[in-house]
Amino acid sequence: MDSFRAAAGRKLIGRDEAEELGTVDHLLLDIERGRIAALVVGRGRKARLVDWAEVRSFGPDAVIVPGADALRAPDGEREQAAAAGDLDVTGKRVLSTSGTDLGVVSDVTFDPADGCLDVLHVGQDTVPAGALRGIGSYAAVVDQGPPSPAS
Nearer to another protein, 86 or 118 (CB): 86
**Residue from the set 36, 96, 120, 128 that interacts with another protein by CB under 8 A:** 96
SS3 for 1? coil
Distance CA 26, CA 19 (A): 20
Distance CA 40, CA 47 (A): 7
Site string for another protein, 15-54 (x = CB under 8 A): ----------------------------------------
**Residue from the set 75, 100, 113, 116 that interacts with another protein by CB under 8 A:** 100
Contacts 24+ apart (CB under 8 A), 50-56: 50/12, 52/115, 55/115, 56/15
Check binding of 151 to another protein (CB under 8 A). Answer: yes
Check binding of 128 to another protein (CB under 8 A). Answer: no
**Residue from the set 13, 71, 83, 95 that interacts with another protein by CB under 8 A:** 95
Residue among 104, 110, 127, 99 at smallest CA distance from 30: 110
Q: Is 43 exposed, middle or buried (0-12, 13-18, 19+ CB in 10 A)?
A: middle
Least distance between another protein and beta carbon 1 (Å): 24
Check binding of 99 to another protein (CB under 8 A). Answer: yes
Site size with another protein, rule: CB under 8 A: 22
DSSP 8-state secondary structure symbol assigned to residue 56: S
For residues 52-71, which are near another protein according to CB under 8 A? none
Element (H, E) at 106: strand 101-110
Residues near another protein (CB under 8 A) are 95-101, 133-141, 146-151
